[in-house]
């Protein structure tokens, strides 16, 4: 995996084929609490914020281009 930076909500939307930031975050996080974490940090039906309390570290697999990541609360 290659580190590709820290991501904001808009980065998940840009990476999603259907511009669904929440689903992209959940798919990349691969944890049971990803949906709850997103829902706590991003208001539904509101424009994606330019900043948030999460520091999300994004990675891309060099072999298959799969996106993944991990976060902590900064």
The answer to whether residues 21 and 12 touch, using CB atoms and an 8 Å cutoff, is yes
As averages over each run of 10 residues, the pLDDT of the chain (74 residues) reads 95 95 92 89 79 91 95 82
Instruction: Note the pLDDT of residue 41.
Output: 85
Kindly report the pTM of this predicted structure.
Answer: 0.88
The edge-to-edge listing of strands for the beta sheet with 67-73 is 2-7, 54-60, 67-73
């Amino acid at each position: 995996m290659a580190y590709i930076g820290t991501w904001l909500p808009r980065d998940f939307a840009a990476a999603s084929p259907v511009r669904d930031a929440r689903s992209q975050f959940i798919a990349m996080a691969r944890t049971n609490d990803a949906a709850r974490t997103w829902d706590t940090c991003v208001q539904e039906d509101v424009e994606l914020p330019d900043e948030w309390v999460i520091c999300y570290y994004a990675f891309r697999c060099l072999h298959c281009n799969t996106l993944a990541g991990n976060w902590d609360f900064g």
